[in-house]
């Protein structure tokens, strides 16, 4: 009999502890659910843009962007750029960069050709920046295309531009002979297109 009051007291303590876990202020704090509207914030959005200089997990920490290609220009890099351009950019810009991609043919506003004089003179860094930050109505690809891949795409755009303006004079004698021997008469025209 003498132990009873103590046990009762412990039971009460247990109930107190359990209820504290369930209802405590740590559980019910004011917070926004994902994408919940927030009238006090700009554009009524609770989802905020990351602070400038935020580095995503897995990204290099140094946020400074080099002025030009920070890696060797290799065939491998261009092939990677080509693959990514075809995935991310060609739906609007077309595989040839002329601006008549598949969704443009379905009514989406057409981007400019990448073969204009201005864009042929543009730097690799300009393409890198357009991919990173978007341009006019084109949205940014920073969250989908890693930094090194942006350079690969930029380098590929230059290769694409060159492909539309290659002249017969740019070819080596051996390449010319192969071209002229391969398709008699049509060679010059084909190369200049």
Pick the binder of ligand HEC from 38, 69, 83, 92 (CB under 6 A): 92
Residue with tokens 């290799």: 74
Q: Is 69 in the site for ligand HEC (CB under 6 A)?
A: no
Q: How far is the CB of 55 from ligand HEC (least distance, A)?
A: 21
Q: Is 89 in the site for ligand HEC (CB under 6 A)?
A: yes
Q: Is 93 in the site for ligand HEC (CB under 6 A)?
A: yes
Q: Is 141 in the site for ligand HEC (CB under 6 A)?
A: yes
**Of residues 157 and 187, the one with the C-beta less far from ligand HEC:** 157
Query: How many residues are recorded in the chain?
Result: 193
| Residue 98 burial (CB count, 10 A) | 17
Which two structure tokens, joined as six digits, stand for 33?
């659910």
Within its chain, how far is the Cα of 80 from the centroid? 14
Residue ranges in 24-88 assigned as alpha helix (H)? 75-84
- CA distance between the termini of the chain: 104
Per-residue binding letters, 96-135, with ligand HEC (x by CB under 6 A): -------------x-xx-x------------x--xx---x
Q: How far is the CB of 157 from ligand HEC (least distance, A)?
A: 6
- What does the binding site for ligand HEC look like in residue numbers (CB under 6 A)? 88-89, 91-93, 109, 111-112, 114, 127, 130-131, 135-138, 141, 145, 153
């Amino acid at each position: 009999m003498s132990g009873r009051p103590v046990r009762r007291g412990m039971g009460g303590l247990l109930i107190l502890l359990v209820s504290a876990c369930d209802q405590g202020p740590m559980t019910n704090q004011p917070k926004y659910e994902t994408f919940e509207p927030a009238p006090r914030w700009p554009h009524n959005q609770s989802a905020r843009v990351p602070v400038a200089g935020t580095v995503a997990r897995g990204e290099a920490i140094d946020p400074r962007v080099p002025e030009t290609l920070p890696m060797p220009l290799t065939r491998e890099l261009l092939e990677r750029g080509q693959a990514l351009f075809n995935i991310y950019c060609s739906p609007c810009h077309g595989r040839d960069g002329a601006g008549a991609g598949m969704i443009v043919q379905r009514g989406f506003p057409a981007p400019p050709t990448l073969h204009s004089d201005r864009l042929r003179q543009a730097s690799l860094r300009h393409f890198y920046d357009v991919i990173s930050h978007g341009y006019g109505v084109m949205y940014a690809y920073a969250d989908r295309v890693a930094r090194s891949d942006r350079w690969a795409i930029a380098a590929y755009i230059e290769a694409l531009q060159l492909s539309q303006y290659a002249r017969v004079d740019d070819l080596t004698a051996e390449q010319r002979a192969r071209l002229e021997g391969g398709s008699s008469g049509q060679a010059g025209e084909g190369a200049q297109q």
